[in-house]
C-alpha cells in the first residue's frame, strides 16, 4: 500500500514537472516557476489524493489527482495572470527623467526607426506595420522601438511609462489568429496609445495573441495619465512595443527580463 502511494506521488510530480518544463520551452516562461508554482501544484495534488483516498477507492483518487495537475495549474495561472503587482519593489524613488517599463516580459529587440519611417512590430521574423502612429508627429524625428515579449505568467496589465496627455488611442480589431500565422501580427487585435510628455511623444503598442478575448483600455484620448498608472490590459496577450525619441538613453538590453512599473527602460536626455 505504501509503495502504491509513493508511485502515485511520483507520477503526479512527473506530470506536473513535465507540464511546466514544456511551457518553459514553448512560451519562454522563467525556470523559477518550475521550482515555485510547480512545487505548489504537486503539493496540492498530493493533498487531494490523500484526502480522497480516505473516502473513495485508491485508483479513482489517483485518477482525480492526475487530472488535478491541470486543474490546479489553471487556478495558479489565473492568479498570476490577473494579479496586480502592489509589492516587490514596484514603487520606486524616481527622477523626472526616468522612463518606466509599461509591461512585464523579456526584451526581444531594440531598433532605431528613422524620421518619417513607419514603425513595424516584429515577432518571429514577421512584421506588422503600425500606420496609426503616423496620425501624430511622433515620427518627425528618429525613435527607438523596444519590443517586450510577454509570457503567460507575466502580469498582463500595462502602465504608462511617463506622465502626460493621451493624444492618440487607436484600436485595431483582430481576427484572433495565432502569432505562428504568417500575417498574424497584422491581423491580430492591437491597441496603440501615444502620450505627450512635455512636448515629447511616447508610444505604447499592445498586440494580442492566440486565444485572446480582448484588449481592455481604461483611458481615452484627451485623458491625462500619471507615470506608472494602469491604462489597459491584454487578455492572453503576447507583446508590447514602446516607441521613444532616439535622443533618449535606452537602459535595457536584449534578452533582459523587465517588469512593469519597476524597470527603468530609458532616461530622458
Q: Which residues are catalytic?
A: 238
Distance separating alpha carbons of residues 226 and 42, to the nearest angstrom: 41
Instruction: HSE, CB side, 13 Å, CA atoms: give it for residue 201.
Output: 18
Distance separating alpha carbons of residues 102 and 78, to the nearest angstrom: 21
Give the burial class of 217: count Cβ atoms within 10 A of its Cβ; 0-12 exposed, 13-18 middle, 19 or more buried: middle
154: phi then psi, degrees, rounded to nearest 5: -75, 155
129 C-beta neighbours (distance < 10 Å), count: 13
Amino acid at each position: 500500500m505504501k509503495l502504491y502511494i509513493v508511485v502515485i506521488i511520483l507520477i503526479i510530480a512527473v506530470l506536473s514537472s513535465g507540464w511546466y518544463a514544456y511551457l518553459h520551452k514553448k512560451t519562454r516562461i522563467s525556470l523559477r516557476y518550475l521550482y515555485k508554482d510547480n512545487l505548489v501544484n504537486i503539493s496540492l495534488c498530493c493533498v487531494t489524493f490523500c484526502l480522497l483516498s480516505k473516502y473513495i477507492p485508491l485508483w479513482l483518487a489517483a485518477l482525480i489527482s492526475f487530472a488535478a495537475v491541470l486543474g490546479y495549474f489553471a487556478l495558479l495561472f489565473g492568479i498570476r495572470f490577473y494579479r496586480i503587482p502592489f509589492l516587490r519593489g514596484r514603487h520606486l524613488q524616481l527622477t523626472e527623467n526616468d522612463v518606466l517599463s509599461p509591461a512585464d516580459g523579456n526584451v526581444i529587440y531594440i531598433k532605431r526607426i528613422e524620421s518619417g519611417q513607419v514603425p513595424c512590430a516584429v515577432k518571429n521574423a514577421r512584421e506588422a506595420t503600425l500606420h496609426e502612429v503616423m496620425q501624430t508627429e511622433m515620427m518627425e524625428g528618429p525613435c527607438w522601438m523596444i519590443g517586450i515579449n510577454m509570457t503567460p505568467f507575466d502580469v498582463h496589465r500595462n502602465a504608462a511609462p511617463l506622465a502626460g496627455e493621451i493624444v492618440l488611442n487607436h484600436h485595431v480589431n483582430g481576427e484572433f489568429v495565432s502569432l505562428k500565422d504568417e500575417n498574424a501580427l497584422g491581423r491580430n487585435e492591437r491597441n496603440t496609445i501615444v502620450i505627450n510628455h512635455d512636448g515629447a511623444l511616447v508610444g505604447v503598442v499592445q498586440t494580442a495573441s492566440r486565444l485572446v478575448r480582448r484588449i481592455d483600455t481604461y483611458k481615452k484620448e484627451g485623458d491625462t495619465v500619471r507615470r506608472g498608472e494602469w491604462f489597459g490590459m491584454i487578455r492572453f496577450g503576447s507583446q508590447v512595443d514602446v516607441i521613444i525619441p532616439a535622443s533618449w538613453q535606452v537602459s535595457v538590453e536584449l534578452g533582459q527580463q523587465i517588469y512593469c512599473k519597476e524597470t527603468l527602460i530609458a532616461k530622458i536626455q
